[in-house]
Amino acid sequence: MSYIEESLSEGEKIVRVFKQHWVTRMWLVLWILLIVTLPIALYEWLRLRTMEHGVTNKRVIFKQGIISRRTEEMKLGSIETVEIDQGVWGRMLGFGDIKVTGRGVSDVLFRRIDDPMEVKRGIEGVSHPAA
């Protein structure tokens, strides 16, 4: 029983009950989406924040992991090729994938890296210095 029905005085009758428009529930839906997606967004932010790509004078390094850690490393002397994979959106927005191929089966892959041409030049400049 609703409050209106419960609160009727003697002889009082309900003529009509009004419902809210569905638009009023939009805020509810947005809040639910935000609450549900907030942990996902926080995880993604932490995942991206703890990801590292780099090159030293001895090796190329890719590290990822928030609590656990996974690394891919390749010695500079083992590098055979540095390839760029850049689609249309990557060309327009300035990002792409870098694949460092070494001897044997090993590869180090940097996904959606900023300015892939500069990264390629940086890796090749260290791994194959000018004579």
pLDDT at 108 (0 to 100): 92
Is residue 131 over pLDDT 70? no
d(CA 57, CA 59): 6
The whole domain housing 25 covers 18-49
Task: Report which DSSP code applies to 95.
Answer: E
Residues 8-65: pLDDT tens digits? 889 988 888 787 778 778 888 888 988 888 888 888 889 988 889 999 888 899 999 8
Count of all residues that appear for the chain in the document? 131
pLDDT at 22 (0 to 100): 80
pLDDT at 130 (0 to 100): 64
Provide the token pair at 29.
Answer: 């839906």
The model's pTM is 0.70
Domain presence at residue 11: no
Specify whether 58 is located in the same domain as 97: yes
Q: Residue 31 phi/psi, 5° resolution?
A: -65, -40
Task: For residue 126, give every residue at least 6 positions away whose Cβ sits within 8 Å of its Cβ, in sequence order, or none.
Answer: 55, 56, 57, 76
Specify whether 103 is located in the same domain as 44: no
Residues 84-100: pLDDT tens digits? 999 999 999 999 999 99
pLDDT at 16 (0 to 100): 84
Burial label, 28 (beta-carbon count in 10 A; 0-12, 13-18, 19+): exposed
Specify whether 58 is located in the same domain as 116: yes
CA nearest to 108, candidates 127, 87, 130, 89: 127
